[in-house]
Structure 1
Amino acid sequence: MTAVTDDTDGVDGAARVDGVRDAGEVRGAGDAEGAGAPDPADGAAEGRWDDGLIARRAEGAAARDERAVRALRPVRPPSEGPPPGGQRESLDEYDGLLPGGAYGGRLRGRLDALRELVGLSRTRLDGGTLAEAGRVLDEAAARQRLSSRHTVVAVAGASGSGKSTLFNALAGVQISETGLRRPTTSAPIACSWTDGAAGLLDRLGIPGRLRRRPAPPGFRDEALNGLVLVDLPDHDSAATAHRDQVDRVLTLVDAVIWVVDPEKYADAVLHERYLRPLAGHAEITFVVLNQVDRLPGDAADLVLDDLRRLLDEDGMALGEHGEPGATVLSLSALTGEGVGELREMLGQFVQERGAPARRLSADLDAAAARLRPVYVADGRRPPELGERARNDFTDRLAEAVGAAAVGEAAEREWRRNAGKSCGTPWLRLWRWYEAHRALGSGIDPISGRTPTEGEEEEITARQRVEQAVRTVADEAAAGLPAPWAQAVRESAVRGAAGLPEELDVLAVRAGLPRGRPPRPAWWPAAVLTQASMTLLQIFGGLWLVGQIVGVLEPRLLPPVLVMLAGILGGPLVEWACAVAARGPARRYGQDAERRLREAAAGCGRARVLDPVSAELMRYWEVREQYVAVTGLSTTGR
C-alpha cells in the first residue's frame, strides 16, 4: 500500500522537510521569485484595497508595478524562455500574473482602474453596490502575494456524482473518502503536487490535517507539477455548512472541475446557482460527465450532447474548435476511461500558469457587469449641460429677477428725466402734481404697482427661481444612471439654497442705476431752446398785458405771434427731445437689463451650474475608469 504523508503535520522526515520548505517559500516568496512582495504603500500590501481620493490617479501604482516588472527581468534565466502563454517582446506586455507576483499587461491596468473607480464612487454609491468590486480587489491583492507557480483547481459536484473518486484517480492514491454514505466529503481536502502551496491552502482555510500528497514521486505525472487539487463537499448537501464551504472556496480557487453524472447533469440547482452565474468563467471551467460506464451504447454521446446544450443555454461558452471556453468531456473515474485525457488537459492547463489571471479577469468582468447599471447611461444622448440648457437657465433667472422690467424702468426713468429738463414748465407742474397724488395713494410712481402687488411678484419670482433650478437639474440628469442623476439634482438643490435672496440683493445693487441718467451732448441746447420758448411766452404775455392796461401802444398781432411762437415751440421742442431721447433711453435701459442679467447669470452659474457641471465631470471621470475596468476602448463614450 502506498504511504500517504501530510506535508504540514510531519508524519515522517520527508513530510517535515516539505512542511518547512512550504513555510519558508511562503515567507520568502518575494525573494525566491523576484520582488514578489508589493510596495507597502500599495493598498494590496495589507490585503485590502485602497478607497482612493478624488484627485488621486493611478500613475503612482503603475510606476510601482513598472519597477517591480523591471526588477523581474534579471531573475528569469535565459534558458527558461518567455513567460507561459507564448512569446512576448516584454514582460510589460504579459497579461497575467508575473513570476514575481505582480499583475502585468492589461490586467494590471484594469485593476488600477477598478481601484480608482471605487475611490471616486465612495461618496456617491452605497457600500453594498461596491462590495463585489472591493472583494475582487481584496482577492487580487491576496492572490498576488502568493505563489504564481501553482494553480488551485477545485473538484465540485453533487452527491453521488463521483467527484471524490475522480479526485483520487487524478491523485493516483486513495485520499478522499468514497462510499454510499451521504454526504461523504464533509470538508475540503487538498492535494498538492509540488512544494510552496501552503500559503494558498491557508487562504482556502484548509487545515494541515487535510493536506495530502499524490502518488509517490516515482509515479507522479510531471506535467501536473504546480497543481493544487481541492475536493469540495457536495454542493447539494443537506448540511448548510457544507454548501457554505463550497460557495466560499469557489470564490478563491483558480479553476473548477464540475463533476456531473447521467442522473443529475440537468439539475436546476447546479445550473441556476452555479453554472449560469459563473458563465463568464468558462475558460477556467471543466465540466466532466462521470459514470459513463453505466450508459449503454451511444447513450453517453447523447447525454454529453444534451449537457453541451444546457451549458449553451446557461450562456457558458464551450471551448470547441480551438475557441476559448469551458472544457467538456466524458469519463469514468471508476474504470479509468477518459481520466488520462483529463489529466493531460489539466497538465497543459497548469503549465500555462494563466489560470489565476483568467480567474481574476473573469471576476473583473462579472464585477463590471454588476456595476454597469450605476455607471452606464442608457439615454439616447450623453449626459451633459449644453449651451441651450445654460441659456435657458439664464433666461429663467433673468425673468425671475425682473431684468426686463428693470430695463424698462430704467428706460422710463431716462425719458422722465429728459421730460423734466426739456419739457414745458406747465407740463412739468402737472407731472409733479400727479406724482404727489400717486405717493398719497401708495402707488410706486416708477413701477406703478402697489406694495401688495410687489409682494405677490416676489413670491412668483421665488417660484420661478425654484422652477429654473429644477429644470436645469432635470436637463443635466437626463440619461444618467440613478445614483449620478440623484447626485446632480442634490448639487443643484444645495446650490439653490439662498439663491432667491441673493438675486434680490443683486436686483438692488445692479438694478436701477443710482443718480440721474447721463445726458447726451445735445441736452443743454434743448434745455436752452425750451427756456427760450418759455421766455417768449412770458414776454408775449407781458407785452399783451401792457397794451391792455394802456402802457404800450395797442398792437395786438405782434404779442400774440410772440406768445403763439412760445406756446407752440415749447411742445414742439419737447416732442423733438422725446424723439431724440428714444435711442439713448433704449440703450440705457438695455444696459441696465444686461447688467442685472449678467449679475443673475453669474450668481446662478456659481451656485448651480458649476456644481452641476462638476458632478457631470465626476461622472465622466468614473465612466472612463469603468470603461477601463471592462477593458474596452474609451472612445465614443
Structure 2
Amino acid sequence: MTAVTDQDHGQGQGEAGGVVVCQGRHVPASDGRWDDGLIARRAAVLAKDPEGPEAAPDDDARPQVEAYVRAGGLLRPRLDALRELVGLSRARLDATTLAEAGRVLDEAAARQRLSSRHTVVAIAGASGSGKSMLFNSLAGAQISETGLRRPTTAAPLACSWTDGAAGLLDRLAIPGRLRRRPQQGGTEADEALQGLVLVDLPDHDSAAAGHREQVDRVLALVDAVIWVVDPEKYADAALHEWYLRPLAGHAEVTFVVLNQVDRLPGDAADQVLDDLRRILDEDGMALGEHGEPGATVLSLSALTGEGVGELRELLGRFVQERTAAARRLSADVDAAAAKLRTEYVAEGRPGLGERAREEFADRLGEAVGAAAAGQAAEREWRRNAGRACGTPWLRLWRWYETTRRPGSPDRAAAMPAPPEEQLTARQRVEQAVRTVANAAADGLPGPWAQAVREAAVHGATGLPEALDELAEKAGTVGYGRARGTDDDAGRGTAATIGGGGVVATGVAGASGVAHSGRVGGKPPRPAWWPAAVLAQASMTLLQIFGGLWLVGQIIGVIEPGLLTPALVMVAGVIGGPLVEWSCAAAARGPARRYGQEAEWRLRQAAAAVGRARVLDPVAAELVRYREVRERYVTVTKISTTGR
C-alpha cells in the first residue's frame, strides 16, 4: 500500500455515497463506519473489487464499559485508598501537591470506562530510530510514512487489530483520518495480536514545535510503550533523563528495542545491547530477566525483519494477558505515592505519649500555682484546727496584730495582681502549650506538624480565662498562682492568669478566707475537735477559777491558802498551751493530706481544661494523620500480576 502523508489525510473524508477503503477492504462512507482517510483515487480503484472482504466497524455499538480491574486484585483497593487519601488531605495539603494523584484517579476512572479487551501500545523514539518502519513491520503494511525527511511522523497514527477501540482512540485524541487497520495474514501471530492498538508517535526530539507535547500527552494515556533506539542514540541523555528514568517505575509495561542491528558488524550488536541494559539499570529500570517482572529489552532490524517476529510474539502474549492497563495504572499510583511520600511518612513514632500528657498537666499545675494552693490549704487546715484548741489569749493577740497590719487577708484579696505576676502566669501557660505541641508534632511531615501546632495554639487562645472560669464554677475563690507565707500574720498575694479578674490565693489569717484548692467553705473539722475544745475550755476555766480564788483570798472573801488556787491556775496556764501543742501535732498529718488533696484537685481541674482545649484537638489531628497514613500504606502496597 502507498504511504499515507499529511496531504492524503485531508482528502476523501466521509463523502455521501462514496466508498472508503481500508487495507484492501472497501466500506461505504455513509454507513457510519470508520474512515481511514485514503485518497479518493485509491478508493475508486479498489472499489472495483466487489469480492473484497468488508471492514469491520471500528466503533462497536455495544457498551464498552468492562472493568479491567479484577475483583480480588490489589489495584481497586489502592485506587479507593488514594481517592480517600486525597479527600482527607485537601484541608491540609495544597492543590498543587495533590494534582498528580488527582490526575491518576481521573485517568483510572476514564480508562476503566473503556474497553478491557484492547491494549494500547505506543511506539516512541528519537528521529531516525526507525520506529515508523517498525510500526509498519508489525502492521504488515505501509501505513506510517518513512523516509529521510525529518520529522517524518507529524501526528500520532493508530492501527487497531480489532473493533471496539474507538473510545480508546478518542481518549488519545487521534482523529478518524489517522486510524488504520493492519494487513491481516491469518497467521497464529496475527491471532495473538487481536486486541492490540498500536500508536506511532512523533519524534520526541523533533525540531517541529508541538511534537514533544503530543508525545508527552499520549504517553500519559497509553497502556504500554515500545521505545525504539538505534546504535547511535541509544545512550542519548535527553531520552534517559526526560523519559526512561522518570518512567522507571513503569518497567513492566515498557519495551526497549534496539533497532538497526543490521548496521553493526560481528558481535557489536550484543555489546551495544549489553551497554543498553547497563544504562537502563543505572536509570533504575528493572529488567525482565530470569522470569522476573521488568522491562523487555531486545534487538532487531525493522528493515531486514530480524527479531521482528520475536517482538510480535512477545506483544501477542502481552496483549492476551489483558493486564497492561492495570499494570500501567498501578505504576501511575506508585509514582503518585512516591511524590507524596514526604507528605505522609513520619520520622519515628510521633504522637502524644503518656509522659508528654503528664508533663503538660504538671506545667499547667505550675502555671495555676497548684503547689502553692496546696500549701495554703494545708496552712488553713492547721489554722482552723488552731482556732479550735488554741488559748483564747493568744488568739486575741493574733487578731489584734492582724487588724494593725495593712496586708490583711481582706485587703490582699482586693489588691490587683502585679503585671509581672500576670505576665508570668500567661507565659507559663503558653510555654506549656508550645511544649506539648512540639512534642506531638515531632517527626510529623511538615503539613501535619503545622496542623497539630495550629490546633494547639487555637485551643489555647482562651485557656487562661477558662482556668479561672472553671475555678468559679467549682465553687472556689479561683485557680491562680498561689503564694502564701507561714507567718502568723497571714499575709498573702493575689494573681490571675487570664487577666480578667482578681483571684485571691494563698491568703492566710483569722478571717478564714477560702483559698485555692479548697472546694467551698472552711476545711472540715477533725474528729477530735469536740474533745480539744472541751479540754481547752477546761484549761481556761481552771485559769479563771484559780485566778478568782486568789483574788478572793486577797480581798479577804476566802480564807487564805495560796497553794491550792496557785496550783489550779498553773495547771490551767500550762495545760492550755499543752493542749494547743498536742492539737497542732495531731493536725500535721491531716493538714498535709488535705493540702495534697487540694493540690491534686487543682492539678486535675487544670489538666481537664487543658485536655479539653488543647490535647483533644491535638489528638484529633493525630488521628486524622493516622487515617491518611493508613490510606497511604494501602496505596503503596506492592501489587502483583493481575492486580
TM-score range, shorter chain: 0.7 to 0.9
- Give the root-mean-square deviation of aligned CA atoms: 2.5
Q: Distance in 1 between matches of 2:208 and 2:552?
A: 131
Deviation at 1:3, TM superposition (A): 10
Q: In structure 1, which of residues 395, 406, 425 is the aligned counterpart of residue 373 of structure 2? A: 406
Q: Distance in 2 between matches of 1:632 and 1:260?
A: 30
Letter in 2 for 1:225: Q
Q: Distance in 2 between matches of 1:107 and 1:212?
A: 32
Contact 2:136 2:143 in 1 (8 A): yes
Deviation at 1:384, TM superposition (A): 2.2
Q: Distance in 2 between matches of 1:218 and 1:372?
A: 49
Q: In structure 2, which of residues 352, 356, 360 is the aligned counterpart of residue 389 of structure 1? A: 356
Q: In structure 2, which of residues 405, 410, 429 is the aligned counterpart of residue 465 of structure 1? A: 429
Q: Distance in 1 between matches of 2:72 and 2:355?
A: 46
Letter in 1 for 2:152: T
Distance change >3 Å, CA 27–CA 260, structure 1 → 2: same
The Cα offsets for residues 454-499 of structure 1, whole Å up to 9 and x where unpaired, read as 5433322211111111111111111211111111111111111100
Distance change >3 Å, CA 411–CA 354, structure 1 → 2: same
Q: Distance in 2 between matches of 1:314 and 1:3?
A: 37
| SS in structure 2 at match of 1:256 | strand
Deviation at 1:309, TM superposition (A): 0.5
Contact 2:59 2:166 in 1 (8 A): no
Q: In structure 2, which of residues 104, 108, 114 is the aligned counterpart of residue 146 of structure 1? A: 114
| SS in structure 2 at match of 1:257 | strand
Distance change >3 Å, CA 240–CA 568, structure 1 → 2: farther
Q: Distance in 1 between matches of 2:417 and 2:557?
A: 60
Q: In structure 1, which of residues 152, 164, 168 is the aligned counterpart of residue 132 of structure 2? A: 164
Give identity over the alignment, percent: 76
2:27 aligned with 1:14? yes
Partner in structure 2 of residue 121 of structure 1: 89
Letter in 2 for 1:154: A
- Within 5 A, what are the aligned runs for 1:167-178? 167-178=135-146
Letter in 1 for 2:257: V
- Within 5 A, what are the aligned runs for 1:131-142? 131-142=99-110
Deviation at 1:27, TM superposition (A): 5.7
Q: In structure 2, which of residues 426, 451, 454 is the aligned counterpart of residue 487 of structure 1? A: 451
Q: Distance in 1 between matches of 2:210 and 2:74?
A: 38
Deviation at 1:328, TM superposition (A): 0.8
Q: Distance in 1 between matches of 2:173 and 2:82?
A: 27
Partner in structure 1 of residue 519 of structure 2: 513
More helix by share: 1
- Within 5 A, what are the aligned runs for 1:195-344? 195-216=163-184, 221-344=190-313
Deviation at 1:378, TM superposition (A): 2.2
Partner in structure 1 of residue 562 of structure 2: 556
Deviation at 1:553, TM superposition (A): 2.4
Deviation at 1:584, TM superposition (A): 2.2
Q: Distance in 2 between matches of 1:331 and 1:353?
A: 25
Q: Distance in 1 between matches of 2:211 and 2:330?
A: 28
The Cα offsets for residues 16-50 of structure 1, whole Å up to 9 and x where unpaired, read as 564397575266224xxxxx38xxxxxxxxxxxxx
Contact 1:236 1:243 in 2 (8 A): yes
| SS in structure 2 at match of 1:317 | coil
Distance change >3 Å, CA 222–CA 361, structure 1 → 2: same
Q: Distance in 1 between matches of 2:410 and 2:382?
A: 14
Letter in 2 for 1:512: R
Letter in 2 for 1:396: R
Letter in 1 for 2:632: Y
Deviation at 1:549, TM superposition (A): 2.6
Deviation at 1:550, TM superposition (A): 2.9
The Cα offsets for residues 124-179 of structure 1, whole Å up to 9 and x where unpaired, read as 11111111111111111111111111110000011111111111111111221222
Q: Distance in 1 between matches of 2:191 and 2:425?
A: 83
| SS in structure 2 at match of 1:25 | coil
- Within 5 A, what are the aligned runs for 1:581-620? 581-620=587-626
2:335 aligned with 1:351? no
Letter in 2 for 1:367: A
Deviation at 1:264, TM superposition (A): 0.9
Contact 1:443 1:451 in 2 (8 A): no
Contact 1:8 1:19 in 2 (8 A): no
Q: Distance in 1 between matches of 2:191 and 2:522?
A: 101
Contact 2:3 2:144 in 1 (8 A): no
Contact 2:365 2:603 in 1 (8 A): yes
The Cα offsets for residues 559-583 of structure 1, whole Å up to 9 and x where unpaired, read as 2212211111111111111111122
Distance change >3 Å, CA 354–CA 517, structure 1 → 2: same
Q: In structure 1, which of residues 167, 171, 181 is the aligned counterpart of residue 149 of structure 2? A: 181
Partner in structure 2 of residue 48 of structure 1: none
Letter in 1 for 2:459: G
Letter in 1 for 2:311: L
Contact 1:401 1:507 in 2 (8 A): no
The Cα offsets for residues 313-343 of structure 1, whole Å up to 9 and x where unpaired, read as 0011111122211111111112222112111
The Cα offsets for residues 204-232 of structure 1, whole Å up to 9 and x where unpaired, read as 01111111111156588222111111111
| SS in structure 2 at match of 1:287 | strand
Partner in structure 1 of residue 384 of structure 2: 417
Q: Distance in 1 between matches of 2:377 and 2:549?
A: 43
Contact 2:543 2:573 in 1 (8 A): yes
Partner in structure 2 of residue 25 of structure 1: 60
Letter in 2 for 1:320: E
2:552 aligned with 1:546? yes
Partner in structure 1 of residue 479 of structure 2: none
Q: Distance in 2 between matches of 1:443 and 1:550?
A: 47
Distance change >3 Å, CA 628–CA 288, structure 1 → 2: same
Distance change >3 Å, CA 334–CA 443, structure 1 → 2: farther
Letter in 2 for 1:189: L
Which blocks of at least 5 consecutive residues in structure 1 are unaligned? 31-35, 38-96
Distance change >3 Å, CA 120–CA 187, structure 1 → 2: same
Deviation at 1:197, TM superposition (A): 0.5
| SS in structure 2 at match of 1:19 | coil
Deviation at 1:521, TM superposition (A): 2.4
Contact 2:161 2:194 in 1 (8 A): yes
Q: Distance in 2 between matches of 1:346 and 1:610?
A: 57
Q: In structure 1, which of residues 465, 468, 474 is the aligned counterpart of residue 438 of structure 2? A: 474
Q: Distance in 2 between matches of 1:344 and 1:487?
A: 55
2:509 aligned with 1:500? no
The Cα offsets for residues 386-445 of structure 1, whole Å up to 9 and x where unpaired, read as 11111111111111111121111111111111112211111111211222233x2x4648
Q: Distance in 2 between matches of 1:122 and 1:410?
A: 52
Deviation at 1:592, TM superposition (A): 1.7
Distance change >3 Å, CA 15–CA 614, structure 1 → 2: farther
Q: How many equivalent residue pairs?
A: 561
Q: Which moved more, 1:580-589 or 1:546-555?
A: 546-555
Distance change >3 Å, CA 23–CA 8, structure 1 → 2: farther
Q: In structure 2, which of residues 329, 332, 335 is the aligned counterpart of residue 360 of structure 1? A: 329
Deviation at 1:181, TM superposition (A): 2.0
Q: Distance in 2 between matches of 1:603 and 1:26?
A: 67
Deviation at 1:366, TM superposition (A): 1.1
Q: Distance in 2 between matches of 1:388 and 1:513?
A: 29
Q: Distance in 1 between matches of 2:13 and 2:390?
A: 112
Letter in 2 for 1:462: R
2:535 aligned with 1:529? yes
Contact 1:423 1:570 in 2 (8 A): yes
